[in-house]
Amino acid sequence: MAHQEINLLGWESIARTSLSMPDEHLENSFQEIVGDSPALQRVLKLAMKVAQSDAPVLILGEAGSGKELIARAIHRISIRRNESFVKINCATAGDRVLDSELFAHAREAEAERRKTGPLELANKGILFLKEIARLPLDLQAKLLRLLERREFEPLGSAHSIKVDLRLIATTRYDLGERVAEQMFRGDLYDQLNVFPIRVPPLRERRDDIPLLARYFLQKFARRMNKHVETIPAETMNSLVNFDWPGNVRQLENLIARSVVLTETPALRVPLAGLQPESEAESA
């Protein structure tokens, strides 16, 4: 089956890394991740290691820290790299919609609209659940059965369907706390927590901020056809010392706005306007 990327239930930065890799395919797989800080390098080494297995992966980190980029990189270097990467955002739909989307199966009345459900689309590939902490408890039970038995029972059907897929999940929440609060199943947490990867917030990898800022400057100046080429030293110092509660996504958005506003070769950044970004989204 040809590789396909499917996004269901509707940040993603493009970056690079200086991580030394012996294989060109591996290097290309991580080219979307900017930074050479020790904290980021540890994450990438873990991602490379887990990609060679078929175990579920739980990627933890604050909103905007780049969890989805790590998930996509794992897919690109895994044995399933030529198969589907099916993404479902558990935070953007109500329980009934999520249930019908995640555990759907083609029925006659829906045949023209969708031939197969997302779990069947992910067969042989990867199912990526974004913000899994927001998955309702009843759907957690269904997901647990999927992981344990490699099968699921479509909504409205009495027959099970076998699937072979790998699960990668992300969350910004502490799932251990959610289990203690009875908002997340302990047995599902145990299944997911086989190989957790924590993506550090930007304030823990400040050495990467100049690389990220220059990358985003080049990206948006090229996209907007503007001759903005440098970041003043005083501005860069302020960027490095800011705590970035919205992480890489917040830095990217700030640079994009700054390029729009700048009419000189030196980037003018409205530092006084820096505000924490909404935590409504996660990445």
pLDDT at 217 over 50: yes
Q: Are residues 104 and 167 in the same domain?
A: yes
* Same domain (yes/no): 101, 235: no
Q: What is the pLDDT of residues 103-139, one digit of tens each?
A: 765 444 444 444 567 888 889 999 999 999 999 998 8
Of 39-43, 85-89, 104-108, 244-248, the poorest mean pLDDT is in: 104-108
Domain that holds residue 80: 5-198
Model pLDDT for residues 194-209, shown as the tens digit of each residue: 999 999 999 999 999 9
Question: Are residues 139 and 56 part of one domain?
Answer: yes
Q: What is the pLDDT of residue 281?
A: 47
Q: Domain boundary at 176, 198, 220, which?
A: 198
Last residue of a domain, one of 139, 166, 198: 198
pLDDT at 93: 66
pLDDT tens for 169-193 read 999 999 999 999 999 999 999 999 9
* pLDDT interval class at 13 (50, 70, 90): very low
Q: What's residue 273's pLDDT?
A: 65
Domain assignment present for residue 279? The answer is: no
pLDDT (average), residues 234-241: 94
User: 224 and 245, same structural domain?
Assistant: yes
pLDDT of residue 31: 67
Q: Quote the CA–CA distance of 208 and 213 in Å, as a whole number.
A: 9
Please report which confidence band the pLDDT of residue 51 belongs to, taking 50, 70 and 90 as the band edges: very high
Total count of domains within the chain: 2
- The pLDDT tens digits for 16-42 are 333 334 455 555 566 678 999 999 999
pLDDT of residue 118: 80
